[in-house]
Amino acid sequence: MDSYQKLLAESVLTEDKVFTYRLLSRTLRVHPNTAKQMLYDFHKTQNDRRPGAVHATYLVHGAKKANVHLNGGDGDVDMAHSSPDNESISEDIPVLTLSLVPEDQLKDTLAQYEEVSSIHVYSVGPNPVKDMALLADVAQEALSLGPAEGPSPGSIVNSGVRRREREGAPRPAPKTAPQPISKAVPQPAAKAAPAGKTAKQEAKPSIFKSTPASSKAKEEPKSTQASKDADTPTSSAAAKKPPASLKRGGSANSGIMQAFSKAASMPKKEKPSAASNPATPSGDDSSMHVMSDDGEDDEDVPQPKARAAGRKTKKQREEELRRMMEEEDEDEDEDEPEKAPSPEEEPMEEAPALEPVTEEPAEVVTASEGGRRRGKRRVMRKKQIMDDQGYLVTIQEQGWESFSEDEAPPATKAKTASSAPAAATAKAAKKGAPKGSQGNIMSFFAKK
């Protein structure tokens, strides 16, 4: 029962953190009302021990006295022009006021109230809160701890809730961290950090693979891997996808990246869903996938900072690690197809642009090696892609990428998916990357 005392003492007194009831409720998985009482109890016991040790803010709800809100209602507007038979006076309407006040102002605020229907501790912190807007960051943190789906604990539930039933519908990723509002403007890199929690996991493997210490030296392979990662999951909608992603990931990182780092939170949740349903083509997914690989690309840039800046609890980190492992399993699936086609592709190194041609259209899903060879007839391929989607020819790059993935995983998945340890995956990916078509494209650009 007193575990919360310990947690709060640790966080508030030692780490100087501010705790809102919501954050506490979600950290401890208790009902918000219980969390409010916990905060109150903590505040009381600490201040009994040492006055001024912790500072609280209160949320007060009730009716204020009439003279406090003189400007309520626009009853005094001069109405020379209104229709004569109806005086234009707004009714006097009761106002319930929700106030968030620091404890030192609580007494004054309460004095303004006629009646208080509800009051509770909103937050406790080591220092008096000067700017309430700072609590918004904590609130955002609380949101990020919320459950992936359904109502958060303690909020009013609605049994009538309807969701769209659609194959491949993007489910909000668990632990999606909405961006703290205040961080939005100034530093794009730091901003992407909390937001990219989920997406980061996607890219993390590449860090581990390429090594913790000397990441700079291996910048190049990493980015190729990342770009590959970015491309593989887009299986279904790949044909519709604009071609830019490869180039972006490989060469033109900085400029465009920054633009999209703002959008980081959007892509990050599309990604997992796309990865989990690689084989379900769905009508209106194309737009999201365009975003999704952008999100991946982002990760190359702000990653180091993202990890450094992570102010996560141990629990979170563990959770993340666990998820990462799962993610890696998935990655493996995605890597597998890379390796398979690579021997064939190698001779094509000089002209990466032609590669896309080698694949079969969506109709011949079961085509194996032989099928691919047949697909090398470039002209045929172009035509068909245009017929289906009406997109530019370059799209074929994507079409080939994802298609091979579609094909291969069923065969390899059973073997490797669940059992392979992370290290093995890393190795495999490492090996695959330079050989794979992505590497070819990089070299193409390098020559230029």
Q: Which residues ranging from 159 to 178 are in contact with another protein (CB under 8 A)?
A: 159-164, 166, 169-172, 176, 178
For another protein, the binding residues in 185-214 under the rule CB under 8 A are 185
Q: Which stretch binds another protein (CB under 8 A): 252-260, 340-348, 377-385, 409-417?
A: 252-260
Which of 8, 54, 139, 428: binder of another protein (CB under 8 A)? 139
CA distances from 75 to 58, 80, 91 (A): 32, 14, 7
90 contacts another protein (rule: CB under 8 A): yes
Alpha-carbon torsion 176, 181, 185, 187, what sign?
A: negative
**Scanning the structure block, which residue is given the tokens 């390429």?**
210
Which of 52, 94, 212, 390: binder of another protein (CB under 8 A)? 94
7 contacts another protein (rule: CB under 8 A): no
Which of 266, 364, 386, 393: binder of another protein (CB under 8 A)? 266
Which of 182, 215, 282, 316: binder of another protein (CB under 8 A)? 182
CA distances from 105 to 56, 67, 248, 346, 356 (A): 11, 19, 53, 72, 68
**Is 106:58 a contact under the CB 8 Å cutoff?**
yes
Of 128, 130, 400, 417, residue with least CA distance to 239? 400
Indicate the SS3 state at residue 402: helix
Q: Which stretch binds another protein (CB under 8 A): 69-77, 331-339, 349-357, 426-434?
A: 69-77
Angle between helices 265-276 and 286-300 (to 10 degrees): 110
Of 77 and 365, nearer to another protein (C-beta) is 77
Of 59 and 279, nearer to another protein (C-beta) is 59
> Which of the 8 DSSP states describes residue 124?
E
Q: Which two tokens stand for residue 122?
A: 């909103």
181 contacts another protein (rule: CB under 8 A): yes
66 contacts another protein (rule: CB under 8 A): no
Point out which residues pair with 55 in neighbouring strands. Answer: 125
419 contacts another protein (rule: CB under 8 A): no
Which of 187, 276, 287, 313: binder of another protein (CB under 8 A)? 287
Which of 49, 52, 91, 390: binder of another protein (CB under 8 A)? 91
121 contacts another protein (rule: CB under 8 A): yes
391 contacts another protein (rule: CB under 8 A): no
Residue type, 357: V
| Rounded CA separation 205/403 (Å) | 23
Of 433, 444, 364, residue with least CA distance to 404? 364
Of 95 and 351, nearer to another protein (C-beta) is 95
- Cβ 224 to another protein, closest distance in Å? 23
Q: Which stretch binds another protein (CB under 8 A): 250-258, 331-339, 347-355, 357-365?
A: 250-258
Size of interface with another protein, in residues (CB under 8 A): 107
Residue 242: CB partners within 8 Å, gap ≥ 6? Answer: 290, 391, 392, 395
Q: Which stretch binds another protein (CB under 8 A): 109-117, 206-214, 312-320, 408-416?
A: 109-117
